[in-house]
Amino acid sequence: MTKKILFFFPENPFSNRAGNVTRAKTNLTILYKLGYEIDLAGIEDIYKGMGDHMDFDRNLVDNLFLLNRRPKKKIVSLEYWKYKFITSKYKSPSNKLLTGHIKENFKKIFEAKKYDYVIINYEFWAGLIDNELPGNPVKIVDTHDWITLNEFYKNPSLKIGERFEEEINNLAKFDKVITISNDENFVFRGFLGDKVVNIPPSFPSHFSSDSEKKYDLIFVGSDNVFNVKSIKWFFEKVYTLLPENISIVIIGRVCRHLDKVENIEYVEFAETLDEYYHQSKLAICPMLEGTGIKIKVIEALSYTLPVVGTERSIDGFASKRTNGCLVNDNPEIFKENILSLLQNESFYQKIKAEATDYFKENFSEENAIEKWKNILTL
Asked if residue 242 and residue 159 are part of one domain, the reply reads no
Flag whether 131 is in a domain. yes
Question: Which ranges of 253-320 would DSSP assign to H, the alpha helix?
Answer: 274-278, 295-302
Asked if residue 226 and residue 198 are part of one domain, the reply reads no
Q: Are 296 and 19 in contact (CB under 8 A)?
A: yes
Please, what's the b/e burial string for 76-95 (b: 16 or more CB within 10 A of its CB; e: otherwise)?
eeeebeebeebbeebebebb
Phi-psi map region of 193: left, alpha, beta (phi>0 left; psi -120 to 50 alpha)? left
Asked if residue 253 and residue 119 are part of one domain, the reply reads no
H/E stretch holding 288 reads: none
Q: Are 358 and 316 in contact (CB under 8 A)?
A: no
Asked if residue 301 and residue 167 are part of one domain, the reply reads no
Question: Residue 85 has what pLDDT?
Answer: 43
Burial classification of residue 271, based on how many CB atoms lie within 10 Å of its CB (0-12 exposed, 13-18 middle, 19 or more buried): exposed
- In 3D space, the residue among 146, 102, 104, 139 whose CA is nearest the CA of residue 119 turns out to be 139
Asked if residue 258 and residue 122 are part of one domain, the reply reads no
Q: What is the pLDDT along the chain (378 residues), one digit of tens a residue?
A: 789 999 999 999 888 777 788 888 889 999 999 999 999 999 988 888 877 777 788 889 999 999 988 776 654 454 444 444 444 444 566 788 898 889 999 999 999 999 999 999 999 999 999 988 988 999 999 998 888 888 887 888 889 999 999 999 999 999 999 998 888 999 999 999 999 999 988 888 887 666 789 999 999 988 888 889 999 999 999 999 999 999 999 998 899 999 888 889 999 988 888 899 999 999 999 998 777 788 899 999 999 999 999 999 998 888 888 999 999 999 999 999 999 999 999 999 999 999 999 999 988 888 889 999 988 976
Q: Are 110 and 134 in contact (CB under 8 A)?
A: yes
Structural domain for 12, as ranges: 4-202+365-375
Instruction: Name residue 131's amino acid.
Output: N
Q: What is the dihedral of CA 292, 297, 301, 303, to 10 degrees?
A: 130
Question: Which ranges of 58-125 would DSSP assign to H, the alpha helix?
Answer: 78-89, 100-112
Asked if residue 222 and residue 99 are part of one domain, the reply reads no
Burial classification of residue 226, based on how many CB atoms lie within 10 Å of its CB (0-12 exposed, 13-18 middle, 19 or more buried): buried
Flag whether 209 is in a domain. no
Please, what's the b/e burial string for 349-361 (b: 16 or more CB within 10 A of its CB; e: otherwise)?
eebbebbbebbee
Question: Residue 95 has what pLDDT?
Answer: 85
d(CA 141, CA 81): 32
Question: Residue 302 has what pLDDT?
Answer: 92
Asked if residue 133 and residue 25 are part of one domain, the reply reads yes
Instruction: Compute the 3-state secondary structure of the chain and give helix, strand, coil in percent, each to the nearest 5.
Output: 45, 15, 40
HSE of 150 in the Cβ direction (CA atoms, 13 Å)?
A: 18
In this structure, what are the phi and psi dihedrals at residue 136, rounded to the nearest 5 degrees? 50, 60
Asked if residue 232 and residue 157 are part of one domain, the reply reads no
d(CA 31, CA 253): 29
Q: How many CB atoms lie within 10 A of CB 179?
A: 27
Question: Alpha carbon 218 to chain centroid distance?
Answer: 19
Asked if residue 247 and residue 158 are part of one domain, the reply reads no
Cβ neighbours for 232, distance < 8 A, ≥ 6 positions apart: 257, 258
Asked if residue 147 and residue 43 are part of one domain, the reply reads yes
Q: Are 31 and 65 in contact (CB under 8 A)?
A: no
Cβ neighbours for 371, distance < 8 A, ≥ 6 positions apart: 197, 198, 199
d(CA 341, CA 257): 28
Identify the CATH number of the domain in which residue 332 sits: 3.40.50.2000
Asked if residue 64 and residue 93 are part of one domain, the reply reads yes
d(CA 55, CA 157): 39
Q: How many domains does the chain have?
A: 2
d(CA 206, CA 192): 36
Q: Are 40 and 106 in contact (CB under 8 A)?
A: no
Question: Residue 356 has what pLDDT?
Answer: 93
